[in-house]
Structure 1
Amino acid sequence: MRTFVSAVAAILGLLLSAVAIPAIWADRNIVQEDGFVALAAPLGQDAEFQQRLAVATVGTIDTGTIPDALAGVVKPVLEAAAGKLTGLPGYPAAWEETLRKSHRLSFADPASLPPEADTSSSLTLDVAPLVALATEELSRATGLPLDAPDQTLISVGQSDQRQLIERLSAFAPLGYPLAIGAGIAFALALVTARRRWSVLVSVGFGALVLAGLWTLGSQTVQNAVLGTASGNGIADMFRDAFVAAASASFASWVTGALVAGGALLVAGLVTKVASPGQRRPNR
């Protein structure tokens, strides 16, 4: 009976862990604002990403109020502003504020969003802080009074993906109680086991299997997200870069599971060899 209870508890712990780990990762890195910013902030330090984002951002500046006679002067200034944008002192703060405003829009209650926001989209970028920085630079260079918009909204994803955000927001925080349940199950498996080394080996092997399943699942999700197109260059550029960063972040968690699984396997084998029942009697 003890062996049966131990086996069931170990399996239950692995099943709970299979859901808990991805859920906790999603909550810490996607749902929570600080985690989202920390994950996406390094994208603004990538040289290629910076340049493409700067060019796209400057291209959204409304120059309709500039007289036609000055259009020829403004165009090279705009091109120069795109090249200087990422080097301006205010760029890091503007990029971080862009991420924070975008996260608030994307994870807010759709009823609280401004009318300009597409509530059917899975993610809404607000690049207004970057546009304001570029507008300020353009105004300084030309001497023309230009007003930056309060919001510059860009929808990322397809129309049926808003529900995914809502489900993720509700599901991800459940990872913590599931992790606690997994810990209790593993403890019960060890306490009730006749051979504790077998529990360590089983759980360690299970962790290796879970790591493989998480890797396959992550790749499947990555391919599905990258297979969608928003029709907006900035949106697709951010999507591609963010998905790559998220995949790398989750991969580090998977690596941790591999290390933990290997350590449990080794610990189980060492425990088996060192246990009194495995020693040969002295002749």
Structure 2
Amino acid sequence: MRFFAALLLWLLTTIALAAAVPTVWAQTHIVGEDGYAALAASAARDGRLQEAMAAELTTQVVSLGADNGYSLNPDLVRRVADSYTRNSGFPGQFAQANRIAHRWMFTGAVPSGNSTDEWLIDVAPMLSDPSFSATLGTLDLQIPPTLTVPITVDSPELQPGKLRALATWGPWVSIGAAVVTGMFGLLTLAAARSRGKALTALGVSALLVGAAGWAAIEVGGRFVDAGLDRTTGNIRTVAEVMVASAEASLHQWLNYTLIAGGALVLLGVTAAVLGSVLRGPDRA
């Protein structure tokens, strides 16, 4: 009876861990605004994203100049943009610009002047960088407080605040999943006759969850591609790099899970062997 109780608790621990790892990761890096901004800053160090943003900023500056009666040299503006996106301050400003996109999706906050349901990124903070303002200052061209660029095309499926429920309940769900996983793990250890074998089993759980997570990312790739199809132009490249950065982060968490699983297996095997030796051949 004790064996079946331990087996059931082990299964519940494995299921809880499979839910906890992606849930806590998502809350940390996607649902939480600060975590999303940090993810954007990390992606902004990628050369492909820097080139795409330089091209998009060039387009916006030339368009802004045309709207104010100036004919700007696109090559000159592009050189300024390239220099800006490669400097050390760009990742932080790119992260700040992405906060408006995060708030649009997770809180429903809509930038002033946005009359559509498009998902937007605010590039005004980047264009306000001294490298741009010094160039534009000779033209007396002022950057507006907000200058938004669509991330996606208009879609009835994308509405402001679409993920508000995740922002509200995400922290509680992630904490609950972690607590439940820990509780079931401790109960598994308490119910098992051999602590060493129980530790080994919990290590196997972590190995299974880590491997399953890697497989799930591969399978989910086509759904990610479908989402990227909603974006166009330079922003498509930016979105691809952001997704790749998120996948790399999740892969890292899964690797930690695999490492923890391997460590638990080794610890469990060692504890089981030592326990058998200490009990002696007559009590083994």
TM-score, with normalisation over the residues of structure 2? Answer: 0.83
Contact 2:122 2:147 survives alignment (8 Å): yes
Could you tell me how far apart the structure 2 residues matched to 1:164 and 1:15 are?
A: 28
**Could you say which residue in structure 1 is the equivalent of 2:177?**
178
SS in 2 for 1:154: strand
- Report how far residue 87 of structure 1 moved: 5.1
The residue type equivalent to 2:66 in the other structure is G
- Report how far residue 90 of structure 1 moved: 5.6
| Residue 223 to residue 156, structure 1, CA distance change in 2 (3 Å) | farther
| Residue 275 to residue 88, structure 1, CA distance change in 2 (3 Å) | closer
Contact 1:23 1:171 survives alignment (8 Å): no
User: Is 1:132–2:131 an aligned residue pair?
Assistant: no
The residue type equivalent to 1:172 in the other structure is G
Could you tell me how far apart the structure 2 residues matched to 1:52 and 1:268 are?
A: 50
| Deviation sequence 1:233-275 (CA, Å, 0-9, x none) | 2321121001111111111111111111111212222222222
Bigger drift between 160-169 and 150-159 goes to 160-169
- Report how far residue 85 of structure 1 moved: 2.5
**Could you say which residue in structure 2 is the equivalent of 1:2?**
2
The residue type equivalent to 2:29 in the other structure is N
**Could you say which residue in structure 2 is the equivalent of 1:208?**
207
- Tell me how many residue pairs correspond in the alignment: 274
Residue of 144, 147, 160 corresponding to 2:142: 147
User: Is 1:156–2:115 an aligned residue pair?
Assistant: no
**Could you say which residue in structure 1 is the equivalent of 2:34?**
34
SS in 1 for 2:149: strand
Contact 1:211 1:255 survives alignment (8 Å): yes
Bigger drift between 271-280 and 155-164 goes to 155-164
| Deviation sequence 1:134-190 (CA, Å, 0-9, x none) | 7524313xx211122332323335632558734543553202111111111111111
User: Is 1:169–2:167 an aligned residue pair?
Assistant: yes
| Deviation sequence 1:100-143 (CA, Å, 0-9, x none) | 33322332225x55451644x5x532222123337524313xx2
| Residue 83 to residue 271, structure 1, CA distance change in 2 (3 Å) | closer
SS in 1 for 2:220: helix
Could you tell me how far apart the structure 1 residues matched to 2:203 and 2:50 are?
A: 42
**Aligned sequence identity (%):** 24
Could you tell me how far apart the structure 2 residues matched to 1:177 and 1:89 are?
A: 38
The residue type equivalent to 1:127 in the other structure is V
Could you tell me how far apart the structure 2 residues matched to 1:115 and 1:29 are?
A: 29
Name structure 2 gaps, 5 residues minimum. none
Name structure 1 gaps, 5 residues minimum. none
TM-score, with normalisation over the residues of structure 1? Answer: 0.84
Could you tell me how far apart the structure 2 residues matched to 1:150 and 1:214 are?
A: 42
Contact 1:204 1:261 survives alignment (8 Å): yes
Contact 1:54 1:83 survives alignment (8 Å): yes
SS in 2 for 1:227: helix
